[in-house]
Amino acid sequence: MIKRLFFLSFVLILACNQFDYSQVKVLEVIDGDTIKLSNGRLLRYIGLDTPEVRIKDKNGNFNYQPQPFSLEAKEFNRKLVEGKNIRIEFDIERTDRYGRLLGYCFIDKTFVNAKLIEQGYAVISTIPPNVKYVEFFIDAQKKARKKKKGLWGSFPVIDHNQANKYINQIRSVEGVVVDTYQSAKCLFLNFGQNYKNDFTIVIFNKALSAFTRDGIDPVDFYIGKKVRVSGKIREYNGPEIIVNSPYEIEVLEGG
């Protein structure tokens, strides 16, 4: 089984390297951050996350269940790229665990990834090692937040105690970090004493270096501080948002 997975991964990498992605046509827009190319491959935009059009159920099936602002993000993406030739630029990792290509999308002089963030249709989600344009994306999101574009002007900030009502949605959540816990894989910033029910910010180990580069030790830095975090609320032992950089956590009080 392991040999077969290795072989399939090798085939995908080989096909990715041989195909000319400097000029490829977009057949279909799947959602705000994923498109289908003329060679049949799916491309997932690097560095951002848009609201989901389809939600995976407990059986692993995807059901049409558009989340707030997901159809607007899909339509904006469709107008930008569907039926057009694009140029794809890759980073360190070229595919994800689902076999989708991971890349930066350009059409003429428009940087599509950044455009979606700048117009408020997406939030940054920079996952190491694919961080080539992270500073560019941060600047784009600052503009969107300042002008209250898209997601930033459509929904109020919610209290961490209400986060469980917004699973699978992109929202901004506020609360005080009461303690932290570091496991073998990640660091948890806890907003309550019951980690199985209360809201949590999750920082995986591979993202910790982004905090230390800014002189932040997240194990201690955020405890007792009121913060605001923006991203997709997921369900795992209670509601959580995964972050990959200190920019995604705004200190409101106690900093």
DSSP 33: S
**Domain assignments of the chain as residue spans, ordered by start:** 15-146, 156-253
Q: Give residue 58's pLDDT.
A: 81
List 44, 78, 94, 228, catalytic entry: 44
Q: Is the pLDDT of residue 3 over 60?
A: no
Query: In the annotation, is 52 catalytic?
Result: yes
Please tell me if the domain spanning 15-146 has the same topology as the one spanning 156-253: yes
Q: Give residue 37's pLDDT.
A: 98
How many CB atoms neighbour CB 66 within 10 A? 16
Query: In the annotation, is 41 catalytic?
Result: no
Q: Which residues face 104 on adjacent strands?
A: 89
List 41, 52, 145, 240, catalytic entry: 52
Q: Is the pLDDT of residue 125 over 70?
A: yes
Kind and range of the H or E element at 79?
Answer: helix 70-81
Candidate from 33-37, 75-79, 196-200 with smallest mean pLDDT:
196-200
Instruction: Tell me the C-alpha distance between 52 and 67, whole Å.
Output: 6
Q: How would DSSP label each residue in 93-159?
A: --B-TTS-EEEEEEETTEEHHHHHHHTTS-EEE--TT--TTHHHHHHHHHHHHHTT-THHHHS--EE
Buried b / exposed e over 160-183, threshold 16 CB at 10 Å, is beebeebebbbbbbbbbbeebeee
List 78, 87, 94, 100, catalytic entry: 100
Instruction: Tell me the C-alpha distance between 199 and 161, whole Å.
Output: 7
pLDDT in tens, 157-188: 999 999 999 999 999 999 999 999 999 999 99
Q: Is the pLDDT of residue 69 over 80?
A: yes
Q: Is the pLDDT of residue 118 over 90?
A: yes
Mean pLDDT of 122-130: 93
Q: Which two tokens stand for residue 174?
A: 């506020």
Query: In the annotation, is 78 catalytic?
Result: no
The class of domain 15-146 in CATH terms is: mainly beta
Mean pLDDT, all residues of the chain: 92
pLDDT in tens, 52-62: 999 988 888 88
Confidence of residue 254 (pLDDT cuts 50, 70, 90): confident
pTM over the 0.85 mark: yes
Q: Which CATH superfamily is domain 156-253 in?
A: Nucleic acid-binding proteins (2.40.50.140)
pLDDT in tens, 10-47: 555 555 557 889 999 999 999 999 999 999 999 999 99
Q: Is the peptide bond before 218 cis (omega within 30 degrees of 0)?
A: no
